[in-house]
Amino acid sequence: MLAVAQFHAPLPLTNKIQRYDWGSVDAIPNLLSAEPDGEPQAEMWLGAHASAPSVSRILRDGAGTGDDAADEVALDRLVREAPVQTLGHRVAEQFGPRLPYLLKVLAARKALSLQVHPSPRQAREGFARENKAGMGLNSPKRSFKDDQHKPEMIVALSQFEGLAGFRTPRIILDVLDGLSGKMVDAVRTALLHDRSHDGMREAFNHLLSARADEACAADIQDTLDSVRARLAAGSPFERADRTVIDLAEQHPGDPGAIASLMLNRFSLEPGEAAFTPAGVVHAYLSGLGIEIMASSDNVLRAGLTTKLVDEENLVHCTSFAPQQPSAPEITTSGSRGQVHTYRVPVTEFALTTADVDPTEPVALPATGPRILLCLDGELELAADRSEAGPQRLAQGDSVFVPHDAGNLELSGAGHAVCAWVP
């Protein structure tokens, strides 16, 4: 059995590193004060998703206090076995015995796949459908890894670049004006015929289906030649044109590069954030950030990838309404405005960042399951129900704070981020 008293204190975490090929070689090692190993480290997952849960050392009840009295326990198991202590009654009743959010450090050296996430209903139906078909959870043909939706928010730690949401048909036609290529012509024709959501769907479908055409790579090259010519002549769409060229170099022959012309480009400075709800086509291009999302791994890919592009499910889950990247609601507190809380219209997560200095401790969210990550400096985290006293956190250290730990206060000098359930 697990020792009940330990739920009154923060639990140090060991977290899984995901080594996707688009990841930075050194950004996450630098955060963790570790030597890079020469291989990409794209994401660090802090949470209880079954595919890569964080792990903590947990005391067994009545087993003393030595190292041999503790077991390494995955966070998903910990929450399942002690939902009230870890989550609190409110969160456990709302979401069941599961941590409803997943926190990540995301370090992109080059573009992630062009993708969209399903709504709650679409996730449940898709997961059940693939289960019924006998598809294994690790099958490369599977689109739905779980039955949860995946709204997500990125908070930039460095300058951060991305694509999100469709431009209006009028702007897309302006951007395509003068460019050559069969794919571009098909998009242009569809939008000139119908500028409604149906026309946008048809235009995007032309790009999705083009990857099956043997002439796709040559067609993309034709378009790239015209983009380069426009740049040389002083393009009015320089940023969009350079994005297409960069993506085509990273993913040769992939029509996702051309699809970027239909999407809004955005940039975030450190501290700025973007929210991506269900149905919005998006891709992160580069930068270091803190990402928080509903605890899901459901990704429907549209391009810029060697993985499955499931056209039917992708189109079914995509909103073709033009929309700009969405900004979260940000509130500030503290005498210096040093605490920022990011809220979005979902119930699974919120995020608080704190710039702590020795003159003013910071109070953090006081209830529910919390995950805290020290970004730099030396901090002390005090939980009012812990008998062990404040816990020291250095750069890269992270803890899971159970609901039963009670109120939290952060002191010292440094920066931290805290995930919680609103």
Task: Give the domain CATH number at 247.
Answer: 2.60.120
pLDDT reported for residue 61: 60
**Half-sphere exposure (CA, 13 Å, Cβ side) for 247?**
32
Q: Which domain holds residue 230?
A: 114-317
Q: Is 217 in the same domain as 119?
A: yes
Query: Is residue 397 a contact partner of residue 374, using CB atoms and an 8 Å limit?
Result: yes
pLDDT reported for residue 226: 98
Angle among Cα 408, 410, 413 to the nearest 5 degrees reads 175
Query: Per-residue pLDDT tens for 8-44?
Result: 899 999 999 999 999 999 999 999 999 999 999 999 9
- Domain limit, last residue, from 273, 300, 317: 317
Q: Structural domain tally of the chain?
A: 2
Q: How confident is the model at residue 130 (pLDDT cuts 50, 70, 90)?
A: very high
Q: Is 123 in the same domain as 77?
A: no
**Domain for residue 281, yes or no?**
yes
Query: 251: which residues sit within 8 A by CB, 6+ positions away?
Result: 111, 257, 303, 304, 305
Structure tokens at 140: 């490369």
CATH number of the domain that residue 390 is part of = 2.60.120.10
Structure tokens at 407: 């109120």
Could you give the CA distance from residue 369 to residue 358 in angstroms, rounded to a whole number? 26
Q: Is 276 in the same domain as 161?
A: yes
* 275 φ/ψ angles, rounded to the nearest 5 degrees: -115, 135
Query: Is residue 134 a contact partner of residue 331, using CB atoms and an 8 Å limit?
Result: no
**Domain for residue 325, yes or no?**
no
Q: What average pLDDT does the structure give for the chain?
A: 94
Q: Is 87 in the same domain as 130?
A: no
Q: What is the mean pLDDT of residues 178-196?
A: 97
Structure tokens at 38: 């020469």
Please give the residue that has the higher pLDDT: either 75 or 310. Answer: 75
- As annotated, the active-site residues are 301
Q: Is the pLDDT of residue 152 over 60?
A: yes
pLDDT reported for residue 57: 85
Q: How confident is the model at residue 3 (pLDDT cuts 50, 70, 90)?
A: low
Q: How confident is the model at residue 151 (pLDDT cuts 50, 70, 90)?
A: very high
Residue type, 262: M
Q: Is 124 in the same domain as 243?
A: yes
The structure's pTM equals: 0.94
Q: Is the pLDDT of residue 289 over 80?
A: yes
Q: Is 177 in the same domain as 137?
A: yes
pLDDT reported for residue 62: 52
Q: What is the mean pLDDT of residues 169-192?
A: 97
Q: Is the pLDDT of residue 80 over 70?
A: yes
Q: Is 225 in the same domain as 256?
A: yes
Query: Per-residue pLDDT tens for 315-370?
Result: 999 999 999 999 999 999 998 889 999 999 999 999 999 999 999 999 999 999 99
pLDDT reported for residue 17: 97
pLDDT reported for residue 137: 87
CB 307: neighbour CB atoms within 10 A? 11
pLDDT reported for residue 4: 56
Torsion of CA 292, 298, 301, 306, to 10 degrees: 100
Q: Is 374 in the same domain as 304?
A: no
Could you give the CA distance from residue 183 to residue 204 in angstroms, rounded to a whole number? 10
Query: Is residue 258 a contact partner of residue 220, using CB atoms and an 8 Å limit?
Result: yes
Q: Is the pLDDT of residue 68 over 80?
A: no
Which ranges of 136-272 does DSSP label H, i.e. alpha helix? 169-176, 182-193, 197-210, 216-232, 238-250, 256-259
Q: Is 71 in the same domain as 158?
A: no
**Domain for residue 223, yes or no?**
yes
Q: Is 282 in the same domain as 415?
A: no
Q: Is 129 in the same domain as 248?
A: yes
Query: Per-residue pLDDT tens for 229-260?
Result: 999 999 999 999 999 999 999 999 999 999 99
Q: What is the mean pLDDT of residues 212-238?
A: 96
Burial state string for 133-169 with b = 16 or more CB within 10 A and e = fewer than 16:
eeeeeeeeebbbbbbbbbbbbbbbbeebbbbbbbbbb
Q: Is 156 in the same domain as 253?
A: yes
pLDDT reported for residue 2: 58
- The share of the chain scoring above pLDDT 90, in percent, equals 87
pLDDT reported for residue 306: 86
